[in-house]
Amino acid sequence: MTTRVPNVEVTAPPGAGAGAPGEGIEVEALTKRFGDFTAVDDVTFRAEDGRITALLGPSGSGKSTVLRMIAGLEHPTDGRIAIAGEDQTEASVQDRRVGFVFQHYALFRHMSVRDNVAFGLSVRKVGKAEQRKRVDELLELVQLGPFADRYPHHLSGGQRQRVALARALAPRPRVLLLDEPFGALDARVRQDLRHWLDKLHRDLGVTSLLVTHDQEEALELAQTVVVMHRGRVEQVGSPEAVYNEPATPFVAGFVGAANVLTGQVVDGRLRFNGEQVLWDAAHIDDGSEAHAYIRPHDVRVSNSRGNGGSLPGILERSKDLGWMSKLHVRLPDGQVVIAHIPNEELGHHEPGDEVWVDLRNAKVFAPDDADGPGLADPNLSADDAESTATAAAAG
């Protein structure tokens, strides 16, 4: 797929947006209340200039409301918004010069692709010749040159979103706001568009803020991830940081698949079933319950006891997925651990076998009163999720 930038004009001149020096988007103590309900609660983060920042969280966590406030479509109850170093909290939508792409292709049905892309330019009374030049550049950029005279209903969903993106980029926005732009598309098209957007962004360097509930999309596309939950920021960090060093139980359970095992803190360490001593839990009160979050690929299963820290269990199920197998092991206290093991590392195990599980890289948290353990995990299949919930409930 060619992703050449056809004309340097696509990147904006200094001070006018894509790739221009500036300070990205700054959001400080942003709050939005709808009546008694606080949809966005004291949210602070920065979307770095020229980078993709993802706002990641489950449905209803306040992501779109944050985006709409940055766009000027919603007025904050409190807090401050700056774009490229300028306070924009009270600025009009037009003055903010942001490009917006929504989940549902908000294309004008009665306008051709060319006229859709030119829309923002005609509103700004840009001359016809310049409009044509800019639209041609953008259509080449989104690889839709031959489709210029088609109408939206003669395009696929993925092509329509590319038109929407070209339309958003046409007036050279200072920042691009993307609200679940691929949310309505099927998995294959989503994946293709993700790669395409990644390459496009590398070429253009426009500061982008992407709202998504899809952790894979956030981790793959963004340089910074802002994890939101119930209107608040749980963690801001690189994809590696939110995945490997989750700051809260919510992040540990939402970003990436995780087994959630319940144990008890004794002498500053976590014990399961009274007998096994595992990870350091000195940050949690002695005698309390605690939850350990362990990725399925951090679980190893063997026929013999490892170097301490292993737990005995019974292999209940093993499913070969081609390159790896999913194993379900039940611990003596009833909790279930799911392991994802590359087939080349898999020993010979049969359901019913007594095995030992070695649990690596556990993150131990005090129970999160608001959520409890066993958070919904988009990466676990329904039966995995059920087992994880069982594991959590067994504590």
> Which residue ranges make up the site for ligand ATP (CB under 6 A)?
34, 37, 39, 57, 59-65, 213
Nearest distance, CB of residue 370 and ligand ATP, angstroms: 15
Q: Are 290 and 270 in contact (CB under 8 A)?
A: yes
Q: What angle do CA 233, 236, 240 make, to 5 degrees?
A: 135
| Shortest reach from residue 324's CB to ligand ATP, in Å | 31
Neighbour-count burial for 123-153, b at 16+ CB within 10 Å, e otherwise: eeebeeeebeebbbbbbbbbbbeebbeebbe
Residue closer to ligand ATP (CB basis): 75 or 199: 75
User: How far apart, in Å, do the first and last CA atoms of the chain sit?
Assistant: 51
- Provide, rounded to whole angstroms, the least separation between the CB of residue 169 and ligand ATP: 23
Q: How far is the CB of 63 from ligand ATP (least distance, A)?
A: 4
Is residue 16 within 8 A of residue 165, CB to CB? The reply is no
List all residues 6 or more positions away from 52 whose beta carbon is below 8 Å from its beta carbon: 201, 208, 209, 210, 221, 222, 223, 224
| Complex with ligand ATP: residue 30 or 329, whichever CB lies closer | 30
Q: Shortest distance, CB of residue 209 to ligand ATP, whole angstroms?
A: 12
CA distance 290 to 263: 5
Residue 307 near residue 313, CB atoms below 8 Å: no
Nearer to ligand ATP, 35 or 308 (CB): 35
Nearer to ligand ATP, 32 or 174 (CB): 32
Rounded to the nearest whole angstrom, what is the least distance from the CB of residue 253 to ligand ATP in the complex?
Answer: 17
Q: By C-beta, is 55 or 258 nearer to ligand ATP?
A: 55
Amino acid at position 355, single letter: V
Residue 197 and residue 162 in contact, taking contact as beta carbons nearer than 8 Å: no
The residue among 103 and 325 lying less far from ligand ATP, judged by its C-beta, is 103
Q: In what order do the strands lie in the sheet with 86-87?
A: 37-47, 25-34, 78-83, 86-87
